[in-house]
Chain A
């Protein structure tokens, strides 16, 4: 994947949470995301993976503070954008236009009192002011179709849609401006396994079709292994290991990575770290 042209380069990013005692949430993290690549960011709660994603998009607010590093976005046009130096208007334009985000609770961040249609139209009125009303509607329908939601649901309100559908709508909104990078922070964690699988399949297909890159953040390593090109394992604000999904799965170098891998018992394979067997081999189990 490394031969691909990069879309985002992060160099030694550091983020602190200032407080009674300062917490170094992200420490000197560097990561290059190739065009069209899915990079998985795996780690447990508090490892700084979300903070990193927010830092990249300049979405952090006090008491979080970026204390060092550089984030460069390599635009399709060949222009390089220094993200951390963007100011209000440019930053807003950059955010949804070049890089969009889907959050874990995103399905709950839909406005309950306006219809899906007007919320999707808002994206265009903000970022594409010269688009006509008709075009906006057409594009919204097209987007819903793209993520597998019946365009007839445009007039629906958030509470009329299931969790999986709402998350699809959020993905549609994130796709609205044809971004080059999507940051997804636990987008399926709150969903059931079956729905999660559907959404993942959808994301993979869309990536294939539209060619955007994804930074996918989750604690669920087996899921990440299946969808990512490369995976970064994060702990205590640092990237411990970065490699292709295959390398991580078969040839993990770091002890913590191996521990994470063994933390997920295999559904169909062998027992791994699990001391309790089925009733028949209980006697042989190692305590």
Chain B
């Protein structure tokens, strides 16, 4: 136990030593950018970019995803590269449109979430006092309202749910956690000397927030953005799968839902349910990889110090 304590403290100190020996770690944007470009990040970015490209460009080159054909459920062929659904619709075309649909939902929800959490988190924490109390109370209330039941309630009131409505509901139920993270970050940043110094220089409040505080929250915010994109895509897929998603839209969730209703599993029609499932998984993995590398930039302690490969040579010499 004791030796563990000692080792621990030495680890803490070693960071200190580190600090002393080297010029301080670059913390500026270019230094961070350099540290961001890890293998993890590059793989994640390539995967995500490929899927985005497919979602953006795919629909222009594919067939009509809703065209009904009486050939029915057919496996992949040269006519239909990924086969057809029960009603003969081309699955590759459906996949392209669904990718677009899911990505739109994900990015829109993430953008809205980011805006809401930044507004309530950063502004409340910076102004402090009553505003902060009110904002955090509201945030906490929103935090405990579960998204799924809320959507079910809304679904029972509205018959024709547009994608837009789904986006709004997901954003409204999803921003609170991010706001809390941003609030705590802002609380720590707003009392840093450079923020105080800019106040002493006479900067106006909005400029202090926008120019001095916001840049330092960017890593946290971008990590939050990536995270909520992924969360929204999964949530939308879940909603659509249980049949309370947007009506008439095409997303990965609706594809899976259709496949399940069309008893694709029973017929062994893997070409119907596998592609959207795989895309969800790959996109999730890609976004997570990006998120991990963002986290490592934000929190250097997560980085693993690897011994350079030259170690043995050095000891030998």
Determine the chain B residues whose CB is within 8 A of the CB of A151 once the complex forms. none
Q: A45-B20, A54-B17 are in contact. Are A63 and B305 (CB under 8 A)?
A: yes
Whether A61 contacts B11 by the Cβ 8 Å rule is yes
Whether B10 contacts A59 by the Cβ 8 Å rule is yes
A48 within 8 A of B: yes
Determine the chain B residues whose CB is within 8 A of the CB of A51 once the complex forms. 17, 21
Whether B13 contacts A95 by the Cβ 8 Å rule is no
Whether A25 contacts B21 by the Cβ 8 Å rule is yes
Whether A65 contacts B314 by the Cβ 8 Å rule is yes
Whether B13 contacts A105 by the Cβ 8 Å rule is yes
Whether A101 contacts B6 by the Cβ 8 Å rule is yes
For B3, B13, B307, the residue with the greatest tally of chain A CB atoms inside 10 Å of its CB is B13
Whether A96 contacts B3 by the Cβ 8 Å rule is yes
Whether B14 contacts A54 by the Cβ 8 Å rule is yes
SS class, residues of chain A in contact with chain B: mixed
Distance between B291 CB and nearest chain A CB, rounded to angstroms = 26
Which chain A residues (38-79) contact chain B, with CB distance < 8 Å? 45-46, 48, 50-51, 54, 59-65, 67
Distance between B14 CB and nearest chain A CB, rounded to angstroms = 6
B interface, size bucket: 20 to 34
Which chain A residues (193-233) contact chain B, with CB distance < 8 Å? none
Whether B12 contacts A105 by the Cβ 8 Å rule is yes
**Alpha-carbon distance A106/B9, docked complex (angstroms):** 7
Whether A62 contacts B307 by the Cβ 8 Å rule is yes
**Alpha-carbon distance A54/B11, docked complex (angstroms):** 11
**Alpha-carbon distance A185/B14, docked complex (angstroms):** 12
A125 within 8 A of B: yes
Q: Quick one: CB contact mask for A9-44 with B, threshold 8 Å, 1 for yes?
A: 000000011110001010000000000000000000
**Alpha-carbon distance A109/B308, docked complex (angstroms):** 30
Whether B314 contacts A18 by the Cβ 8 Å rule is yes
**A109 contact from B3, B12, B306, Cβ within 8 A:** B12
Whether A109 contacts B305 by the Cβ 8 Å rule is no
SS class, residues of chain B in contact with chain A: helix
Q: Quick one: CB contact mask for B1-37 with A, threshold 8 Å, 1 for yes?
A: 1110110111111101110111000000000000000
Whether B17 contacts A125 by the Cβ 8 Å rule is no
**A126 contact from B3, B11, B307, Cβ within 8 A:** B3
A interface, size bucket: 35 or more
A139 within 8 A of B: no
Which chain A residues (88-102) contact chain B, with CB distance < 8 Å? 92, 95-96, 101
List the 7 closest pairs (A to B, CB-CB), nearest first: A109-B9, A122-B1, A126-B2, A62-B307, A122-B2, A123-B2, A59-B10
13 further contact pairs, Cβ within 8 A, besides A18-B314, A62-B306, A62-B307: A16-B314, A18-B308, A51-B21, A54-B17, A63-B308, A67-B315, A96-B3, A101-B10, A104-B13, A104-B16, A109-B5, A109-B12, A125-B1
Q: Which residues of A contact B (CB under 8 A)?
A: 16-19, 23, 25, 45-46, 48, 50-51, 54, 59-65, 67, 92, 95-96, 101, 103-106, 109, 111, 119, 122-123, 125-127, 185
Q: List 27 A-B contacts (CB under 8 A).
A: A16-B314, A17-B21, A17-B22, A18-B308, A18-B311, A25-B21, A45-B20, A54-B13, A59-B10, A59-B14, A60-B14, A62-B311, A63-B305, A67-B314, A96-B3, A103-B9, A103-B10, A103-B13, A104-B16, A105-B16, A119-B2, A122-B1, A122-B5, A123-B2, A126-B1, A126-B2, A127-B2
Q: Which residues of B contact A (CB under 8 A)?
A: 1-3, 5-6, 8-14, 16-18, 20-22, 305-308, 310-311, 314-315
